[in-house]
Amino acid sequence: PQRLGSAHGSALGKGFYTSQSPQTAQGYTGGNGTLCVIHIITGKILQGGNSGYDPQSLRNNGYQTIQSSNVFVVSGNEQVLV
């Protein structure tokens, strides 16, 4: 079994890649079309992330989430409510 949040998403560093747009999220389904609807607690957001952030470094600087376009990357399991 694969751990939730580990299949895709390394462009902005490790974390849970989420989107408010179903069309964007659909692109990360691996072709099976299944989406998981969740709630996230964003905390402080770093806008316009570019690449390879370390979650611990983000937390040390007071950020919990990176936003790039319509993709949000949350760095901690405790921010995801299933």
At position 71, the amino acid (one-letter code) is V
Which pLDDT does position 6 carry in this prediction?
A: 54
| pLDDT tens per residue across span 8-34 | 556 777 788 888 898 888 887 777 778
The answer to whether 17 and 9 have CB atoms below 8 angstroms apart is yes
Residue 1: count of CB within 10 angstroms of its CB: 3
H helix and E strand count, the chain:
2, 6
The answer to whether 50 and 68 have CB atoms below 8 angstroms apart is yes
| pLDDT tens per residue across span 45-76 | 988 766 667 777 888 888 888 888 888 888 78
